[in-house]
Structure 1
Amino acid sequence: MISKSVIVTGASRGIGRAIAIQFAKAGYHVAINCNTNADLLENVKQEITSYGVHCISYVGNIGEEEHAMKLCSNTIEAFGHVDVLINNAGISHIGLLSDLSLAEWNSIVTTNLTSVFLCSKGVTPNMVQQKSGRIINISSVWGIAGASCEVAYSATKGGINSFTKALAKELAPSNIQVNAIACGAIDTEMNQFLSTEDREELENEIPSGRFGKVEEVAEFVYAIATGSTYLTGQIIPFDGAWL
């Protein structure tokens, strides 16, 4: 029996870490990536291998072609193939558009959107060759609705949504499914800037009455990755009925 493998970008913490561990528990060999947090990534690697699977790690900005292609080629060299790609790497920026510099804009676009393009491009030939594969992009409800003071972030997530729909149509004949999960308020470090009062106010806006957990996102990602091959080209909200 051929062991399956998964690439998880932005896996040093939060949603990416939880996803990587979820797949490791299920017996997948795992390739993990982060931009700068090498020590945190090494901790995740050690936890993954404790489940009896192999893990490779790669530190680098996968919004840059050299690093994205290296991550993908290293994975194929180590495991022979890629079954699942989870495009999770992302950063946010809070502030008015008028205060957003071009450098900040470019940084968000590179990290959030260009990385999705490059990593998807990196694994597609291998998936086409084996006539199977799953690409799951971690998006946001702001990619659907837009958020004030998060114009750049919203734009990149909206771009991911359109990218997902288009690539799904392109790859469906090769039995490769492409979907995106539009996350709502998830309890991650990205949301730690909220004061206790702001957090409570936001929780009151969410019909489910709470933030989602990273483990819940991971379980949902795994369910999509192992579910029906007829599910493709979808942007699936995961937001507790918030929006």
Structure 2
Amino acid sequence: MKKIYIIVLAVLLCLIVLFFYFKDEKVYTFKEYSPSGKLIGTNEYVIRNGNSIQHGKFVNYNERGIKIAEGNFVNNEPNGKSIYYFDNGKIESVHYRKNSKVTEESIFYNSDGLIRKYIMYNDIGEAKFIIDFDGKTVKKYDGYATYPVNQYKIEKEKKYEIHTRDTLKVGDVIKYEYLLANIPNAKRTFKIETEGIDNSKVKRTITKEVPTRIVVEEVLTKKGLNRIKAITQYTFNDNVTRVKNDTVTFDVNVK
């Protein structure tokens, strides 16, 4: 019995060592040089199953040694904030990437350092809101600054899409999400309301996820038709552009 216990303990210790070995992967740095010998890039990577996987920070430089791009990779895919620079070192654009195919948000600058364009994309990388600036003044905008994405009922750890014809009961928890544009040169306010109830008594949790996602969970408290409204207001700093008000609604039937 004692031998079996020792063997089991040894196996467990080996598994723990292996777990931490693969969890804490060693990060290497690959340096790239131009034909003239100038450093033009550094890329962090890890080794998995004999293959090098780009995983970590990357930085690119021009021939003069000025940084022209930086960002992050996860498992060979760009992920998170990537920044690109003009050759003079000023920011040209900032992109928040989900992967190589989907960008979530972009900000473009002119050579004077002023924002010239902002774009918010949906979950498959389609531009859903675009705003152009002339200096700090809004030139034009188009699309949906408040964009609904997922509206789900939580039930036994599974998700079921809500349709207006579905019927739920008081006490059920629903989860729904929006994409909210982070419009530059503007102040944003956002709130959720259900018509016909005291919203101060609703158990509702609102969570922000970078860069544009808002996740809402709430407990249903009212029988009958529940009309849930997301109300967003943008007040622009240029004192010229009108206040932009967005209201998005969806209905839930409750027993």
TM-score, normalised to structure 2's length?
Answer: 0.23
- Between Structure 1 and Structure 2, whose CA radius of gyration is higher? 2
More relative contact order in 1 or in 2 (CA 8 Å, sep 6+)?
A: 1
Larger strand percent: 2
Larger helix percent: 1
TM-score, normalised to structure 1's length?
Answer: 0.24
